[in-house]
Structure 1
Amino acid sequence: MASSDLRPSSSSQGCTFLRALSQYERHPQLRNPDYLAPKFLSPAHQKLMLAARPWWAKAVLRKVSPGAYFYQISRIQFGDEALLQALEDGVSQVLIMGAGNDTRAFRFEREILKANARIIELDTPESQAWKTAKVEEHWGGLPGHVSYVPIDFNKTTLEEALLQNGASYDPEAKTLFFWEGVCYYLDADSVDKVLAFVREASPAGSSLVFDYFQKAALEGRTKPYGAQKVLKRGPERGEPFIYGIEENEIERFLGKRGLQLIRHMAPKDAARAYLCDEKGRLLGRQHAYLNLVKAVTSPKT
């Protein structure tokens, strides 16, 4: 089926549009590393990209979702660094949960094949149908090093999708898990089930990369840049933010779930690392309510 006959996820398209828009940036530091994002735009977003001037589009985005445009740059770079490090450390399996239009399987194909690693992408059947149609459209077929596993997150567990249905997931293989842009839409029980799977269905030393909503901002105890606007918009678009973690409790939170914190970046740290020029001058302001995390699974007792 052609991609024109399918409907992509609105949230996935929104993130893809932000990554594609940044390819017009003059300063290389502000160009999102996801240079393949334009290939995954829907026809409507392609028309918008062609019709809108970048400065105008960015001005609209600042009003609608302050800081989201620049946060996409930070999050992609954080994840890319984690992927390259994991491949160097001997990871042979990368599981992307809620993959959307993630392009790491293509942007890092050489490094993945050199490490003899595989990518497994988990997503809803509708989103995955869109993604694979676009892949076939632009690459002439599906890559051999990627497995696409459909899942209805509301009805199917990770165990059922990956361990019971003949999927290519190997619970004995050292794994890097990506869980970006997901956990703050889930309830506490669902979050714990995902983290339990990461802990129990992979060997010690496997890695997890994810981002989380600061609980203080979610509950209105603090008002960091961009939070109030996005908390209002979430329910309006049918995607309310419902789960947060206390910033100063992240290490303890992970430890209770069999994970060890390796890297934790607050918004100001991410901006300093990814949004400054060579002289340390800030080039863009990302929102200040999502934190980035890398953790590893602890030895099982």
Structure 2
Amino acid sequence: MDDNQVSNTSLWTAYMRAHHCIHATDKIFDDFLANDLVPKDVQEQIKQQIIPEVFVPATNNIVTRSRYTEDILEEAIRQGVTQYVILGAGMDTFALRRQDLMEKLNVFEIDHPATQEFKLQRYAELGWKNPENLHLVPIDFTKQNLETELTNLSSYDPEAKTFFSWLGVINYLTQDEVETTLRFIANISSSGSTLVFDYMDLNEINLEKKSQQLQKSTEYLEKIDEPRKTGGFNPLVLEENLACLGFDLVENLSPSDIESRYLKECTDQHVLKHINFAHSVTK
């Protein structure tokens, strides 16, 4: 990814949420702002590049992970969470879309400076204004220290119960970068804080097991210069891995679990077979 260019995958993700919102008959996640957030010329470019056999399951993954995260967030708020940190926020619309929850939270969007700048420009073009309790924190995960950048903010309270979401990011980092970030999260949050993330099943990226679906998505990401690196986990030892990094695993959803929970009523029930969802809490 070019240091001065908005993340293409962040725009694709917003486009997929918008597509689902507009076209789904059984709506899983209602991101009614996403369509406006992605410029029309960008939407046309994306339409020309869609790989159908990847687009549908990838869209299902994106809307189910968003639904899963916000379901858990609502419960966490009832249990005393007062801060929400969105790691790799991209074109996330939570702060404007969920005003019912914003009344109870300080929200911190963490992302690459170029992506945040694009988002701010787009907000200005649309006449959208950031809520006072939304804080944009530009960080390049490969170069900056999350612990330092976040705790240096007067608005962030490391003693408060905090909810972290980390969606669509881990497989673009090295394993060392993933583990370093998890340690930072454990260090800067109080006991009982929540982390929800999606991750690649490392068993599935073995070249001998690569599905055509995975190969096609990998080829596309390389084409737009946002290749996987690839951070991830083995689901069978995720609980052990997280324990070493300061977390207790609450739930670990496989692709079949995701389909069973969210996609029973959908015409196309498939998700990406190499992506899992995890819910954990700090020790």
The structure whose Rg is larger is 1
Partner in structure 2 of residue 293 of structure 1? 278
Partner in structure 1 of residue 120 of structure 2? 132
Q: Once the two structures are superposed, what CA deviation does each residue of 1:205-238 show, in whole Å capped at 9, x if it has no partner?
A: 0000111100111123534572232233333332
Instruction: Give yes or no for the alignment of 1:80 onto 2:80.
Output: no
- Change over 3 Å in CA distance of 1:121–1:26 after alignment to 2: closer
- What is the aligned counterpart of 1:174 among 155, 161, 164? 161
Note the 1:136-151 alignment, pairs <5 A. Answer: 136-151=124-139
Instruction: Compute the displacement of 1:63 (Å).
Output: 3.8
Distance across 1 between alignment mates of 2:204 and 2:55: 15
Q: Once the two structures are superposed, what CA deviation does each residue of 1:160-185 show, in whole Å capped at 9, x if it has no partner?
A: 31123x35221111100111111111
Distance across 1 between alignment mates of 2:88 and 2:139: 9
TM-score, normalised to structure 2's length?
Answer: 0.89
Distance across 1 between alignment mates of 2:235 and 2:212: 16
- What is the aligned counterpart of 1:12 among 10, 13, 35? 10
Instruction: Give yes or no for the alignment of 1:194 onto 2:191.
Output: no
Q: Once the two structures are superposed, what CA deviation does each residue of 1:102-152 show, in whole Å capped at 9, x if it has no partner?
A: 111122221230x3x110011111111121222334354221120111112
Aligned-pair Cα RMSD in Å: 2.3
Partner in structure 2 of residue 205 of structure 1? 192
Percent sequence identity over aligned pairs: 30
Instruction: Give yes or no for the alignment of 1:217 onto 2:204.
Output: yes
- What is the aligned counterpart of 2:61 among 68, 71, 96? 71
Instruction: Compute the displacement of 1:24 (Å).
Output: 2.6
* Alignment-mate amino acid for residue 137 of structure 2: V
- What is the aligned counterpart of 2:99 among 90, 109, 112? 109
State the SS of the aligned residue for 1:295.
Answer: strand
Structure 2 gap ranges (5+): none
Asked if structure 2 preserves the Cα contact closer than 8 Å seen for 1:13 and 1:42, the reply is no
Partner in structure 2 of residue 234 of structure 1? 221
Note the 1:37-56 alignment, pairs <5 A. Answer: 37-47=34-44
Q: Once the two structures are superposed, what CA deviation does each residue of 1:232-254 show, in whole Å capped at 9, x if it has no partner?
A: 33333323321221111111111
Instruction: Compute the displacement of 1:68 (Å).
Output: 0.8
- Change over 3 Å in CA distance of 1:233–1:137 after alignment to 2: closer
Instruction: Compute the displacement of 1:75 (Å).
Output: 1.1
Asked if structure 2 preserves the Cα contact closer than 8 Å seen for 1:29 and 1:276, the reply is no
Asked if structure 1 preserves the Cα contact closer than 8 Å seen for 2:170 and 2:198, the reply is yes
TM-score, normalised to structure 1's length?
Answer: 0.84
* Alignment-mate amino acid for residue 34 of structure 1: D
Asked if structure 1 preserves the Cα contact closer than 8 Å seen for 2:73 and 2:163, the reply is yes
Partner in structure 2 of residue 3 of structure 1? none
State the SS of the aligned residue for 2:12.
Answer: helix
- Change over 3 Å in CA distance of 1:224–1:80 after alignment to 2: farther
* Alignment-mate amino acid for residue 133 of structure 2: H
* Alignment-mate amino acid for residue 40 of structure 2: P
Asked if structure 1 preserves the Cα contact closer than 8 Å seen for 2:86 and 2:166, the reply is yes
Asked if structure 1 preserves the Cα contact closer than 8 Å seen for 2:81 and 2:160, the reply is yes
When the two structures are aligned, how many residues end up with a matched partner? 279
Instruction: Give yes or no for the alignment of 1:249 onto 2:237.
Output: yes
State the SS of the aligned residue for 2:27.
Answer: helix
Distance across 1 between alignment mates of 2:52 and 2:154: 41
